[in-house]
A = this chain, B = another copy of it.
Amino acid sequence: VRSERVVYATGDDAAVVRADGVAVTSIDAQVEGVHFELATHSPADVGHKALGAALSDLAAMGARPGEAFVALGVPASFGDDASLELVESMERLAERTGTTIAGGDVTAAPALTVAVTVIGWAGGERDLAYRDGARAGHLVGVTGRLGASAAGLLLLQGVEADLPEGERDALLARHRRPEPLLEAGSALAGAVVGAMIDVSDGIATDARHLAEQSGVRIEIELGRLPLAEGVEDPQLAATVGEDYELLFTAPPEFVAPAGVEITWIGTAQEGSGLALTHSGAPLELSGYEH
């Protein structure tokens, strides 16, 4: 896929892209042994996850996806077929999301490393959502269902669970092939949400980012978290990330855009920091601060 705005892609020293409005750019790296294991992730999983995680940052801003630039570090043991599978998987996600892979760099490396820079576009800076837009009186909402990626990771790590095969596969897929919520992000930013962030580190950590950047206190009731099929523990959903759902705040009169599933899980208030409650009682989560 190659958009109209791309004048020159690969083949020259740099890609040339017609620009207007604002460019929205993020870089994200995934390293074997740190973010994934080749024992449990196929080359196609790795390619999808690396681009998907990067694009999720554009979703969190409400930007339209534009171009991706990929630096691939490949160990000698990772064959040409595996590299091709990785790149083709990335190309499929790029095509499906309207992203042009417009440049890259391939080098040797001791561990498989995929660094992806994504550039998205918007008409102007006011068309985007930021982490600092939460105000006292806002409600806190989240898209979709939480905890599936964390549960999938536990399954990969060998934790026993009595689950129907289909549910198990769905949890594993959610961990291995995260889906960037570009349309939901764009719809939410267009509906003028307060603050927005993608859930990459877990609700607890990501809500704290919103509270700190916005200068408000955020309270979240764990009993309200929308849990994925097969997930029963809201603490899992709150403390482990990579769901790549969108966490946002909005004034009470906010109307959810059509087609975006939203659950209200808390409120923003005067003050600072994050408070988690469970059935209304204050909660200490061990190890959720980082």
Please report A residues at the B interface, Cβ cutoff 8 Å.
7-8, 11-31, 33-35, 57-58, 60-61, 63, 67, 69-71, 73, 102-105, 107-111, 113, 115, 117-121, 125, 128, 130-132, 197-198, 213
Interface centre among A12, A22, A58, A105 (most CB of B within 10 A): A12
Q: Can you pick out 22 interface pairs between chain A and chain B where the beta carbons lie within 8 Å of each other?
A: A11-B131, A11-B213, A13-B26, A13-B57, A13-B197, A14-B118, A15-B25, A16-B23, A17-B23, A26-B69, A27-B117, A28-B105, A29-B115, A31-B109, A31-B110, A31-B113, A33-B110, A71-B71, A73-B113, A109-B111, A111-B111, A113-B115
B contact residues around A11 at 8 Å (CB): 131, 213
CA distance A35 to B108 in the complex (A): 9
Which residue of the partner chain, among B23, B35, B105, B115, contacts A23 with CB atoms under 8 Å? B23
Inter-subunit contact A105/B14 (CB<8 Å): no
Q: Which B residues are CB-close (under 8 A) to A58? A: 13-14
Tell me the bound Cα distance from A119 to B119 in angstroms. Answer: 10
Known: A13-B61, A130-B12, A131-B13. A19 touches B29 (CB 8 A): no
A20 to chain B, nearest CB (A): 6
Contact B12 A61 (CB under 8 A): yes
Given the complex of chains A and B, what is the CA–CA distance between A34 and B120 in angstroms?
A: 32
Contact assessment for A107 and B29 in the assembled complex, using a CB-CB cutoff below 8 Å:
yes
In the bound assembly, the distance between CA atoms of A33 and B70 in angstroms comes to 20
How far apart sit A240 and B34, CA to CA, in the bound complex (Å)?
35
CB contact between A25 and one of B14, B24, B28 (< 8 Å): that residue:
B14
Is A26 a contact of B103 with CB atoms below 8 Å?
A: yes
Contact, CB under 8 Å: A69 / B25: yes
* Nearest-Cβ distance from residue A206 to partner chain B, whole angstroms: 10
Known A61-B12, A111-B111, A130-B12; judge A25-B29 contact (CB<8 A). no
Asked if A21 and B19 make an inter-chain contact with CB atoms under 8 angstroms apart, the answer reads yes
Given contacts A34-B107, A107-B31, contact A17 B12 (CB under 8 A): no
Taking the closest CB of chain B, its distance from the CB of A162, in whole angstroms, is 34
List of B residues within 8 angstroms of A35 by Cβ: 107
Q: A14-B57, A21-B19, A109-B113 are in contact. Are A69 and B198 (CB under 8 A)?
A: no
